[in-house]
């Protein structure tokens, strides 16, 4: 479908571009800038609102908004550089924009990196002719705890509202009133609550929308940017960290067009302050008579050595899935090669079978049909994937979600069974998938063998043969696959299950915060924890070794597409990093582990990535090609789960508990006050029928019980939820069992 080339003349320079190319891009191809404010192709069709891009087109009597036109063969375009009329038009627009814009550039966060400032300097009138009072309004108001809005600075380019309406499709940020009174607002001034709210800060071409975490914190000329990758989830958005005096000051997107298209979620953008959490562990801690006490590194390593030696043969390791591949590989070498400790608890199952259907995430936008299975909404597991799906819907794709709240409503845990149904001949939805040239499958939820069940379906539907198609498993951890692969590459021996457990090695914050790891620790004699936050170690750790954050690490991760991406250290950690102490400890057991990520990578890559060179990964990593399909091991637990057996005769009408995976949870998120409003409320969601049966309405306080335990929550009636289910955010579900009773308090 390659478009024919057309010839366009811009300011007497001739260029050839594919027909339909925007005029702004056409001019760019000729090395000529058409200045813009409202134009942003990622937000959908141009709106032509700001009128900054006025150009003269031969044969058209009036100036035209260049951003709204596309290249036509023989078109002759004159920008302000060669057309007096266009120059006057542009000067007019700038004059009008500046009529109400305050001149507070010296104290504005945008100062120095402000398109309005730049364009005014280049094209603007030297003086003001406006002698009336400017339209003034209240100074900055919080749009949310994360975003501040300064309405006086707003030039009404509508980028933020278009993002909210068309890209995030959250319908929260709007323009209200009309004419000169138009202003950006939310409903009743409620906080702008969207997993993607921070993007409007980057979209704003002036200093009207700013980050509350960054405001007045730095000036553009005394900062550095470090290109790295977000480790908030398995998408691995490409980011750039703004650094000043070795502190991360903000996170900006670094547009990888196949992965994130320049969007970030608020978790990735705003959790960096957790690096400076008050309970950050910066020195080793050892359990003493008064609880955890600081010890020197020498003492810590001695203690670690002693713990490991005395527990040899009875060591279990709990991994987080957020380690870099290098940390996981180094740890595995130490434990497996040095101590034959082959037993590991991985955060989730992984499978390579989906490599046969590999596609860039951007392929979702071009799909004809997208089918999502699994219990969790996509946005909670891999937020950017949700934006790609929204984009697909806008492009006319059929998007069908199959979940307890989906378009096709299925009970929780039914995704495996559903895949079988879809694969069976004659299934209507399955047939649509078979017929589609570009079909996308997504598994968003627990279970499914790390994508294995989805791979079976994809193979059955023949997606391996169709390059525009793809299948994605959305893991719960950012690098679960890399960690699992690194662990298994470090040694050959089989896993043993020591009982009793002599030592539990807990690697990373997520493992340390995981209730099932905590449960395992109760069966362990001693516990060694590596974590960033003391709060996660208190009460159960015998030895704590400080952990680092992804922004402090060098290394690699494998994202959910199977793309190996490179992390770069944006800030020095306040302590030696994991590789430093693993390497020292390994030496004590005669294992050679380099303290340098690059060296560990080179060794791991020879096992894992066919010697893919670190330098080759580059700033925007390439996606490896598809692998031939290999049938994964068959499902071990046969689905589906039968009807619930009452756990206690006193309860009637039990519901199945769905532990909802929420995006804004986890140790790092919990340490950023500004993110609190994004966290899942302490609510239980019920279907209208189940709520009515129990006389429960939205907002009612309720008790959710299962044998022995009880949790107090508020009820929310969710019209989309299937009957027979009680949906509770994981962090509020406590120790509840699979079958619960919900009672009005």
Partner 1 sequence: MPERPELVFARTDGGAVTDLEEYVARGGFVALAKARAMEPDAVIAELEASGLRGRGGAFFPTGRKWAFVPKPDRLAKPHYLVVNADESEPGTFKDREIMLRVPFRFLEGCLIGAHAIAAKHVFVYIRGEYEREFEVLRSALEQMHARGDLLGDVTIVLHRGAGAYICGEETALLESLEGKRGQPRTKPPFPAIAGLYAAPTAVNNVESITTVTVVFELGAEEYAKVGVEGSTGTRVFSLSGNVVRPGNYELPHGITLRELIYDVGGGVPNGRSLKAVIPGGSSTPVLTADDIDTPLDFDSLVRAGSSIGSAGVIVIDDRCCMVQLGIRVSQFYEHESCGKCTPCRVGTRWLTQILQKIEDGRADQSDLDLLLSVCDRILGTCLCPLGDSDAIAVASYVARFRDEFQEHVHLGRCPFEGASSLEGILAPSALHGAHGHEHEAVPA
Partner 2 sequence: MSETLHDRIQELRAVYPDPRSAILPALRLAQEEHGGWLPPAALREVADSLEVTPATCVAVASFYDQLRLEPVGRRLVEVCTNISCALAGAQQVVEAFERELGVEAGATSADGAFTLGTVECLGGCGWATVVAIDNRHRLRVTKDDVPAIVEELRGA
Summarize as ranges the residues that interact with ligand FES (CB under 6 A). 36-39, 48-53, 65, 67
Is the Cβ of residue 188 or residue 615 nearer to partner 2 in the bound state? 188
Residue 177 near partner 2 by CB under 8 A? yes
Which residue, 54 or 672, has its beta carbon nearer to partner 1? Answer: 54
Which position among 176, 276, 523, 744 is part of the footprint of partner 2 (CB under 8 A)?
A: 176
Partner from partner 2, partner 1, ligand FES, none contacting 172, C-beta within 5 to 8 A by type: partner 2
136 binds, among partner 2, ligand FES, partner 1, none (CB under 5 to 8 A by kind): partner 1
Query: For the chain, how long is the longest CA-to-CA vector?
Result: 88
- Cα gap 117→97, rounded to integer Å: 11
Whose tokens are 């996606």? That residue is: 623
Choose among partner 2, ligand FES, partner 1, none what residue 36 binds, the Cβ cut-off being 5 to 8 Å by kind.
Answer: ligand FES
Closest to ligand FES by CB, 53 or 524 = 53
CA dist 359 to 253, 288, 561, Å?
Answer: 22, 52, 7
Q: Where are the beta strands (DSSP E) in 191-260?
A: 209-211, 224-229, 238-244, 247-253
Q: Can you tell me the distance from the alpha carbon of 583 to that of 179, in angstroms, rounded to the nearest whole number?
A: 65
In sequence order, what are the residues at sequence separation of 6 or more whose Cβ sits closer than 8 angstroms to the Cβ of residue 273? 213, 671, 672, 674
Edge-to-edge, what's the strand order for the sheet holding 291-294?
291-294, 285-288, 543-546, 524-531, 501-507, 315-318, 343-345
> Contact between 610 and partner 1 (CB under 8 A)?
no
The Cα 59–Cα 71 span in angstroms is 14
Determine, following the binding rule CB under 8 A, whether residue 120 of this chain makes contact with partner 1: no
Within 8 A by CB and 6+ apart from 190, the residues are: none
Contact between 46 and partner 1 by CB under 8 A: the answer reads yes
Helices (H), 325-443: 325-332, 338-339, 378-381, 383-394, 415-423, 428-435
Least distance from C-beta 143 to partner 1, angstroms?
14
Strand, helix or coil for residue 395: coil
CB of 172 to partner 2, least distance (A): 5
Q: Considering only residues 134, 193, 434, 607, which one is a binding residue for partner 1 as defined by CB under 8 A?
A: 134
Q: Which of residues 127-166 bind partner 2 (CB under 8 A)?
A: 161, 165
Tokens for 168, please give them: 């995030």
Query: Residue 53 or 490: which CB sits closer to ligand FES?
Result: 53
The stretch among 15-23, 173-181, 322-330, 525-533 that binds partner 2 (CB under 8 A) is 173-181
Asked if 610 contacts 625 with a C-beta cutoff of 8 angstroms, the reply is no
Of 578, 562, 706, nearest to 621 by C-alpha is 562
Nearer to partner 1 by Cβ, of 161 and 469: the residue is: 161
From its phi and psi, is residue 398 left (phi > 0), alpha (psi between -120 and 50) or beta? beta
Q: Which does 186 bind (CB under 5 to 8 A by kind): partner 1, partner 2, ligand FES, none?
A: partner 2
Stretch that binds partner 1, among 179-187, 191-199, 294-302, 729-737 (CB under 8 A): 179-187
178 binds partner 2 (CB under 8 A): yes
Q: Which is nearer to partner 2, 161 or 350 (by Cβ)?
A: 161
Residue 171 touches which of partner 2, ligand FES, partner 1, none (CB < 5 to 8 A by kind)? partner 2
Closest CA to 163 of 176, 151, 172: 172
1, 4, 62, 673: which one contacts partner 1 (CB under 8 A)?
A: 62
Residue 660: both structure tokens together:
């909802």
Structure tokens at 517: 């790891």
Per CB under 8 A, the segment of 117-125, 126-134, 181-189, 399-407 that binds partner 2 is: 181-189
Question: Which is closer to partner 2, CB of 171 or CB of 701?
Answer: 171
Residue from 1, 106, 127, 133 in contact with partner 1 (CB under 8 A): 133
Which of 185, 501 has the CB closer to partner 2? 185
Work out whether 162 is an interface residue with partner 1 (CB under 8 A).
Answer: no
User: What DSSP state is assigned to residue 109?
Assistant: T
**Which one among 64, 100, 172, 350 touches partner 2, defined by CB under 8 A?**
172
* Binding at 187: pick from ligand FES, partner 1, partner 2, none (beta carbon under 5-8 Å per type): partner 2
Are 135 and 155 in contact by the 8 Å Cβ rule? The answer is: no
Our CB check for ligand FES shows the closer of 93 and 706 to be: 93
Residue 82 near partner 1 by CB under 8 A: no
The reply to whether 173 sits near partner 2 by the rule CB under 8 A is: yes
Q: Does 49 bind partner 1 (CB under 8 A)?
A: yes
Residues 17 and 675: their CA atoms lie apart, in Å, by: 45
Q: Rule CB under 8 A: say whether 68 interacts with partner 1.
A: yes
Q: What's the token pair of residue 732?
A: 């509020």
Q: Does 93 bind partner 1 (CB under 8 A)?
A: yes
- Indicate whether 171 belongs to the interface with partner 2 (CB under 8 A): yes
Token pair for 274: 């957790």
Give dist(CA 123, CA 88) in Å, integer.
Answer: 10
Nearest residue by C-beta to ligand FES?
67
Helix (H) or strand (E) holding 443: strand 439-443
Residue 53 contact partner, candidates partner 1, partner 2, ligand FES, none, CB within 5 to 8 A by sort of partner = ligand FES
For residues 234 and 354, the answer to whether their CB atoms sit within 8 Å is: no
Query: Encoding tokens for residue 508?
Result: 């990373």
The verdict on 394 binding partner 2 (CB under 8 A) reads: no
CB 473 within 8 A of CB 454: yes
Torsion of CA 495, 496, 502, 504, to 10 degrees: 30
In the complex, the residues that contact partner 1 under the rule CB under 8 A are 46-52, 54, 62-63, 65, 68, 88-89, 92-93, 95-97, 99-100, 129-138, 155-156, 158, 175-183, 185
In the complex, the residues that contact partner 2 under the rule CB under 8 A are 161, 165, 170-178, 185-188
């Amino acid at each position: 479908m390659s478009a024919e080339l057309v010839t366009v003349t811009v300011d007497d320079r001739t260029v050839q571009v594919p027909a339909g190319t925007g005029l702004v891009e056409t001019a760019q191809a000729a090395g000529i800038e058409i200045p813009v404010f409202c134009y942003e192709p990622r937000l959908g069709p141009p709106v032509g609102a700001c009128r900054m891009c006025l150009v003269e087109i031969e044969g058209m009597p009036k100036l035209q908004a260049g951003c709204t036109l596309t290249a036509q063969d023989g078109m002759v375009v004159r920008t302000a550089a060669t057309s007096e009329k266009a120059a006057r038009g542009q000067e007019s627009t700038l004059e009008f924009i500046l009529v109400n814009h305050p001149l507070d550039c010296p104290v504005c966060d945008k100062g120095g990196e402000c398109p309005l400032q730049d364009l005014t300097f280049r094209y603007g009138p030297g003086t003001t002719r406006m002698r009336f009072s400017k339209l003034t309004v209240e100074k900055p108001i919080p749009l949310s705890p994360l975003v501040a809005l300064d309405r006086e600075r707003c030039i009404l380019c509508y980028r933020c509202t278009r993002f909210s309406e068309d890209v995030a499709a959250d319908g929260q940020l709007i323009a209200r009133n009309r004419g000169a009174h138009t202003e950006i607002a939310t409903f009743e001034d409620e906080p702008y609550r969207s997993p993607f709210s921070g993007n409007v800060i980057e979209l704003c071409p002036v200093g009207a929308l700013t980050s509350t975490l960054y405001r007045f914190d730095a000036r553009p000329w005394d900062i550095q940017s470090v290109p790295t990758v977000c480790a908030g989830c398995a998408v691995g958005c490409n980011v750039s960290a703004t650094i000043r005096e070795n502190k991360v000051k903000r996170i900006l997107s670094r547009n990888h067009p196949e992965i994130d298209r320049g969007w970030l979620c608020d978790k990735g953008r705003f959790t960096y302050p957790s690096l400076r959490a008050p309970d950050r562990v910066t020195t080793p801690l050892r359990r003493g008579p008064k609880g955890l006490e600081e010890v020197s590194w020498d003492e810590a390593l001695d203690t670690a050595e002693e713990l490991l030696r005395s527990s040899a043969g009875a060591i279990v390791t709990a991994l987080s899935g957020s380690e870099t591949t290098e940390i996981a590989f180094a740890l595995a070498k130490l434990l497996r090669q040095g101590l034959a400790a082959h037993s590991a608890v991985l955060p989730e199952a992984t499978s390579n079978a989906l490599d046969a259907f590999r596609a860039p995430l951007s392929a979702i936008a071009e799909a004809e049909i997208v089918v999502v299975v699994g219990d969790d909404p996509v946005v909670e597991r891999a937020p950017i994937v949700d934006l790609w799906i929204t984009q697909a819907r806008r492009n006319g794709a059929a998007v069908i979600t199959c979940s307890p709240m989906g378009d096709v409503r299925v009970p929780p845990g039914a995704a495996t069974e559903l895949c079988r149904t879809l694969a069976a001949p004659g299934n209507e939805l399955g047939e649509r998938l078979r017929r589609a040239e570009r079909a996308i499958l997504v598994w968003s939820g627990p279970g499914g063998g790390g994508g294995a069940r989805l791979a079976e379906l994809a193979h059955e539907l023949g997606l391996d043969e169709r390059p525009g198609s793809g299948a994605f498993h959305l893991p719960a951890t950012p690098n679960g696959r890399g960690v699992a692969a690194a662990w298994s590459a470090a040694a050959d021996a089989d896993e043993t299950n020591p009982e009793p457990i002599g030592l539990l090695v807990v690697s990373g914050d997520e493992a340390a915060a995981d209730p099932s790891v905590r449960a395992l620790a109760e069966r362990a004699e001693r516990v060694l924890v590596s974590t960033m936050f003391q709060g996660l170690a208190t009460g159960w750790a015998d030895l704590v070794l400080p952990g680092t954050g992804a922004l402090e690490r060098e290394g690699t991760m494998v994202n959910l597409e199977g793309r190996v991406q490179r992390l770069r250290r944006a800030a020095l950690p306040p302590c030696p990093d994991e590789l430093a102490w693993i390497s020292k400890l390994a030496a004590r057991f005669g294992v050679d582990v380099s303290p340098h990520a690059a060296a560990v990578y080179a060794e791991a890559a020879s096992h894992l990535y066919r010697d893919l060179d670190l330098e080759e990964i580059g700033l925007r990593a390439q996606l490896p090609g598809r692998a031939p399909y290999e049938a994964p091991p068959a499902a071990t637990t046969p689905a589906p789960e039968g009807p619930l057996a009452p756990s206690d005769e006193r309860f009637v009408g039990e519901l199945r508990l769905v532990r909802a995976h929420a995006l804004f949870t986890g140790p790092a998120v919990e340490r950023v006050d500004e993110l609190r409003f994004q966290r899942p409320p302490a609510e239980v969601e019920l279907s209208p029928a189940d709520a009515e049966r129990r006389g429960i309405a939205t907002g009612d306080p309720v008790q959710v019980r299962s044998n022995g335990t009880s949790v107090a929550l508020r009820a929310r009636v969710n019209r989309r939820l299937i009957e027979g289910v009680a949906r509770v955010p994981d962090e509020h579900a406590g120790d509840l069992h699979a079958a619960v009773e919900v009672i009005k308090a």
